[in-house]
Copies of this chain bind each other. A is one copy, B any other.
Amino acid sequence: MKKTTVMLNGVDLERLAGNIEAIIADSSLARFQFSLSNQWVDGGYNQSAIGDFFGVGKIQSRETPFILANDEPDILLGNDNAPNPVEYVLHALAGCLTTSMVYHAAARGYEITKITTTVEGDLDLRGFLGIDPSVRKGYDNIKVSFDIDGDFTEEEKLEILNLTSFSPVLDIVSNGVPMKICLGSRQEAMTIDC
Contacts and interface: CB of A to CB of B under 8 A. Distances in A.
A177 B142 contact: yes
Given A34-B120, A131-B23, A139 B172 contact: yes
User: Which of A15, A29, A181 has the most B CB atoms < 10 Å from its CB?
Assistant: A181
Q: Count identical subunits in the complex.
A: 2
Interface residues of A, number: 128
A38 B131 CA distance: 33
Given A38-B119, A168-B137, A85 B92 contact: yes
B122 A91 contact: no
Interface in A163-179: 164, 166-179
Interface of A: 9-12, 15-16, 19-20, 23-24, 27, 29-40, 42-46, 48, 50, 53, 55-56, 60, 62, 66, 68, 70, 72-73, 75-77, 80, 82-100, 102-104, 112, 114-132, 135-148, 157-158, 161, 164, 166-186, 188-189, 194
